[in-house]
Amino acid sequence: MPGALQDHKPQAQLASLPSTFYSQMALAPEEADWVFSNVTTTAELLRDQLPLKNEWIQASVPLEGSATPGYSKVYRNKGFPNHLKKTLIEGIDTYHQYFEASVASNREQRCFGYRVGPTDPTYHYLTYGEVQQLRDQLGSGLLHLLKANPYKQSAAYDAHRKIDTHEKEYPNFYRDQKHSFCVGLYSTNRYEWVTTDLMCSAFSITNTALYDTLGVTASEFILATTECPVVFASGNHIRRLATLKQQNPQKLGQLIQIVSFDPITDPQVVEFAAQNKIQVVSFDDVVAAGKAHPGPTMPSHPDTIYTISFTSGTTGTPKGVISLQSGAAAGITFNMTDIPTKQGWRYFSFLPLAHIMERQTMAGALAAGGVIGFPPNGYTPANYFQYVKEWKPHVLANVPRIWNKLEASIKKLTTENSRPEVREAWELLILQRKRGRGPLNYQAELFETSITKLLRRFYGFDNLQYLITGAAPLSSETIEFLRCTLDIGMASGMGMTESFGGFAMTNPWLRPKKGKPYSVGSCSVACEWRLREIPGIDTKHDLGQRGELQIRGPQVFCGYYKNPEETQKAFDNGWFSTGDVGAIDEDGMLYIIDRIKSYSKLSQGEFVAPEKIETAYLGGNAVLTHCYVHGDSRADFIVGVVGMAPKDVARFVTKHLGRDVSEEEAVKLVNRFDVKSALLRQLNQPMGELCGFEKLHNIVVAQDPLDGCMTPSLKLQRPKAFAKWEPQILDMYSEGSLLKPAKL
């Protein structure tokens, strides 16, 4: 393991890592598109070379002479400033090739762990070799069944013609100019979803994903735009898909097959689909057809479209991000160069696979020989930590909303424990770990080790090495708290659909310099960035130069599917404009401040970044489950809608009124002027890091106030949130500030 990490990783975890790190570095020439030469397998790299040196991956450097009027200098990874990298090893430049390389090293090792349903008590496993075989049978079977589909009309639909000519045409696929028919994926996370995804790469088939929160209109738009002839779906979605075609027979005429991941048990649903010219078959049926009619794989090449990811975004119609196989390979390369991992580490797949963060995490884990666990079919998201406890992963990647819930849960067991001696012990332990000090003596060390083990075991974190957070900001206080209580690493990163997920990541065990918050890391080896000046916003910031983040490189997408207008808007002379306000410090580390569209200018000229403020309130107040901040240019203060569980509302109202109050009564009372004024003052107490104008001056309290206002990756859709709460927001501004200026 790199020496730079040793001071920041618990010693108990060091013994299992090789001592030969970097002893046989075989870096490729700097002008090469790949990182390493003279290496035969990715397993060899994982064992001896990866992740890259910390002094490289935890710093970005500006390129001299690269600044132009209105733009900052261009920044690149410190280890590779002269040439962006596309892959780890020459010849492995697609997702398919990364998986094939992993199978070669891990054929008999476990790949997927799954349970058939919530009542299934044990995990069943598929090895890498078995997944490869299943993938190939699935691809052969799909092509056979599609060709024989009774509803196929090649003269009427281009997607059907592509089915007929696929074997002949696949070597000529090139970006959006020529590609295969499109396969749809529509289910919660399960091994069949990922196997189908791997099949698409092995047979040069482009895919796209649907998800429930899109709504009927967006689902119909995606199926019509991509002209999907086939959708792989869980059984509960078959009727919905058939109904979509029934309601849109012209737009969805090309949809002729649904492959059910579940056994088909309802003949009426099959008949209903047939009435709408859709053949329904099971996943097992397709595999059986592949066994009976085996055919060769048709591997993708770098310019083949891997997937079209339709992002609901925070505004407007879904846009289809075109991710090439080369972009996926570059995203995997970032994972493997930046993120510590080992063969056989256990990962748990929970974030929607329709979201690119989970796709990148999945691809990186498979390339590294990881074991992927899935929640049981028909799972309930509320049981997430129970599933984690049963799987016992080495790495967990999720979004800030989940980590805020974990923080609140741990605080109730530690720093907010009802027993004073427990609170004091944890407060002292956290303080020592923050300062980097070890136990004072053997007894203290034994105590520290035992209570940490008990806490980790309670959550199923027995194997856990580190957490990863992304998709939205997470407060530095939350990161520090989770690191110190669990004695693990925690990495924060930056990514987006347009970059095939993450392109920046912090080291899980390094802390920021004194006085600085946690950044989102430095440049990927497959990406470069710069800042564009934003009219009306000062380029100077406490953390460094500020502006709109722009990115360019092998990880970056090539455009929006069938949407040249939006593609043209998104690019600035080859640079993708992310829409994020970022700051870059003297080490080239990136900090994300907020979305440009989210910035509010108050009546006295101050700019406020709502996402930063929301993160601060959620991180500093364990009782909050949600926070939505709104600013109005006609007012000199901001207001907010906050979420609290009824039991926490009752606890606060009881304390404030000095009498027992039921949950039902508390929910009615909490938005009374005197009660919410007192609550607001309590919420503002830990907000010392915020300026006076950044603090909330009025609030509305509700349970799950942002339900229906979140993307699949749990990002807030601000236009929806405003539309939902506009009357209450107007009332808050009419009511005025609940705080006196002197109290700020």
- Least trusted range by pLDDT, from 301-315, 485-499, 669-683: 301-315
Q: Mean pLDDT throughout 548-559?
A: 96
CB 343 within 8 A of CB 291: no
Query: Among 406, 386, 380, 404, which residue's Cα sits nearest to residue 460?
Result: 386
Q: Which 3 state secondary structure label does DSSP give 574? A: coil
- What does the pLDDT read at residue 438? 55
Q: How confident is the model at residue 379 (pLDDT cuts 50, 70, 90)?
A: confident
- Least trusted range by pLDDT, from 136-140, 211-215, 618-622, 718-722: 211-215
> Long-range pairs for 268-275 at CB < 8 Å and ≥24 separation?
269/238, 269/239, 269/242, 272/239, 272/242, 273/238, 273/239, 273/241, 273/242, 275/246
Is the model's pLDDT at 35 over the cut of 50?
yes
What is the distance between the alpha carbons of residues 326 and 434, in angstroms, rounded to a whole number? 41
What is the distance between the alpha carbons of residues 648 and 698, in angstroms, rounded to a whole number? 19
The residue ranges of every structural domain in the chain are 112-359, 380-388+399-594, 599-735
Angle at 272 (CA atoms; ends 267, 273), nearest 5 degrees: 100
Report the Cα 727 to chain-centroid distance in Å: 33
Query: Beta-carbon neighbour count of residue 103 at 10 Å?
Result: 20
Is the model's pLDDT at 252 over the cut of 90?
yes
CB 524 within 8 A of CB 539: no
Residue 726: its H or E element: helix 718-735
Q: Is 138 exposed, middle or buried (0-12, 13-18, 19+ CB in 10 A)?
A: buried
Residue 642: its H or E element: strand 638-644
Sheet strands (E) in 649-719: 696-702
CB 593 within 8 A of CB 539: no
CB 178 within 8 A of CB 276: no
- What does the pLDDT read at residue 22? 36
What is the distance between the alpha carbons of residues 291 and 283, in angstroms, rounded to a whole number? 13
Q: How confident is the model at residue 713 (pLDDT cuts 50, 70, 90)?
A: low
Is the model's pLDDT at 595 over the cut of 90?
no
Task: Please tell me the CATH code under which domain 112-359 is placed.
Answer: 3.40.50.980
- Tell me the longest C-alpha to C-alpha distance in the chain: 81
380-388+399-594 and 599-735: same fold?
Answer: no
Homologous superfamily of the 380-388+399-594 domain (CATH): ANL, N-terminal domain (3.40.50.12780)
Q: At what angle do helices 325-338 and 95-106 cross, to 10 degrees?
A: 50
- What does the pLDDT read at residue 312? 63
CB 332 within 8 A of CB 309: no
Sequence-distant (≥ 6) Cβ neighbours of residue 281 within 8 angstroms: 145, 257, 258, 259, 260, 264
- Least trusted range by pLDDT, from 13-17, 66-70, 609-613, 636-640: 13-17
Question: Does residue 238 or residue 446 have the better pLDDT?
Answer: 238
Report residue 481 as tokens: 């708290």
CB 409 within 8 A of CB 416: no
Report how many helices (DSSP H) and strands (DSSP E) the chain contains, helices first: 24, 31
- What does the pLDDT read at residue 314? 47
What is the distance between the alpha carbons of residues 225 and 80, in angstroms, rounded to a whole number? 39
51 upstream amide cis, omega within 30 of 0: yes
Q: Which residue has the tokens 């709408």?
A: 276
- What does the pLDDT read at residue 609? 82
CA distances from 581 to 528, 534, 718 (A): 16, 9, 17
Q: How many residues can be counted in the chain?
A: 744
Report residue 670 as tokens: 């909490």
Is the model's pLDDT at 680 over the cut of 90?
yes
Q: Which residue has the tokens 């807030």?
A: 716
- What does the pLDDT read at residue 19? 31
Report residue 29 as tokens: 């020439």
Which of 262-276, 433-447, 512-526 is the most confident on average? Answer: 262-276
Q: Which CATH class is domain 599-735?
A: alpha beta
Question: Does residue 599 or residue 609 have the better pLDDT?
Answer: 609
CB 549 within 8 A of CB 590: yes
Q: How confident is the model at residue 607 (pLDDT cuts 50, 70, 90)?
A: confident
Each residue's pLDDT tens digit, 625-641: 999 999 887 888 999 99
- What does the pLDDT read at residue 190? 96
- What does the pLDDT read at residue 742? 37
User: Which residues face 305 on adjacent strands?
Assistant: 324
CB 676 within 8 A of CB 702: no
Give the chain's mean pLDDT.
Answer: 88
DSSP string computed for 517-542: ----BEE-TT-EEEEE--TTS-SEET
Report residue 284 as tokens: 């097992």
Report residue 42 as tokens: 């990715």
What is the distance between the alpha carbons of residues 309 and 354, in angstroms, rounded to a whole number? 7
Instruction: Give this prediction's pTM.
Output: 0.83
Is the model's pLDDT at 182 over the cut of 80?
yes
The percentage of the chain sitting over the pLDDT mark of 90, rounded to a whole number, equals: 65
696-702, strands of its sheet edge to edge? 624-631, 638-644, 696-702
Q: How confident is the model at residue 236 (pLDDT cuts 50, 70, 90)?
A: very high
Query: Among 642, 648, 646, which residue's Cα sits nearest to residue 629?
Result: 642
Is the model's pLDDT at 91 over the cut of 60?
yes
- What does the pLDDT read at residue 441? 52
Each residue's pLDDT tens digit, 3-19: 332 233 332 332 222 33
Q: Mean pLDDT throughout 100-118?
A: 94
Residue 405: its H or E element: helix 400-413
Q: How confident is the model at residue 41 (pLDDT cuts 50, 70, 90)?
A: confident
Q: How confident is the model at residue 20 (pLDDT cuts 50, 70, 90)?
A: very low
Is the model's pLDDT at 436 over the cut of 80?
no
- Least trusted range by pLDDT, from 218-222, 574-578, 608-612, 735-739: 608-612
- What does the pLDDT read at residue 320? 95
What is the distance between the alpha carbons of residues 708 and 722, in angstroms, rounded to a whole number? 12
Phi, psi angle pair for 620, to nearest 5°: -95, -10
